[in-house]
Amino acid sequence: MVKGRLEAFSDGVIAIIITIMVLELKIPHESDLAALRPLIPTFLSYVLSFVHVGIYWNNHHHLFQAVRQVNGSTLWANLHLLFWLSLFPFVTAWMGENHFAALPVALYGVVLLLAAIAYFTLTRTLVFHHGQDSTLANALGRNFKGKLSVLIYAGSIPLAFAIPWLACALSRYRTKIEGRGKTHR
């Protein structure tokens, strides 16, 4: 199968995810700067999630530049990734609305962890389809950053119950690590 439909569908879903997230930023009824203060936690959670979704979109784009074709397993692995990404608006809004309370931050970490696992699954599915000596497999290499991301996310979940802001900071640090990659998470 050609990859174009998968890429177009994924781009559309990711655009909708970002749109839904920004709609959670409610417009204040007052016209002074003080009216924006209650929106700060929601805005910060939006920025954090926008960066995460942006990195996934960027890495997905680069990943599929090295892909020649897709098969049924690839379609399902991609849908698996899109499922977890589609939960970003919910956990983003819950975390922001509750001022980064422990349980919403932990659930945010769970969704990030499962999205990272889904991305890793997608890359493994593509490598299996294209072969260990393919351009894709060579571009992905050992995928150290992807594996490190999974560990950071897993560690941030229990940390959210003790120090929620540090769990969010780890998530942000992870985005710095990942934002430098070409084709891998």
In the prediction, which pLDDT does 184 show? 45
Question: Which DSSP state fits 182?
Answer: S
Q: How many CA atoms lie within 13 A of 39 on its CB side?
A: 17
Distance CA 37, CA 33 (A): 7
Buried b (16+ CB within 10 A) or exposed e, 100-129: beeebbbbbbbbbbbbbbbbbbbbebbbeb
pLDDT tops 60 at residue 109: yes
Percent of the chain exceeding pLDDT 90 equals 74
Q: What is the pTM of this model?
A: 0.88
In the prediction, which pLDDT does 143 show? 76
Taking Cα atoms as reference points, which of 80, 20, 28, 8 lies closest to residue 49? 20
pLDDT tops 90 at residue 154: yes
Q: In this predicted model, what pLDDT tens digit does every residue of 38-71 receive, in sequence order?
A: 999 999 999 999 999 999 999 999 999 999 899 9
Mean pLDDT of 11-30: 95
Q: CB of 178 within 8 A of CB of 55?
A: yes
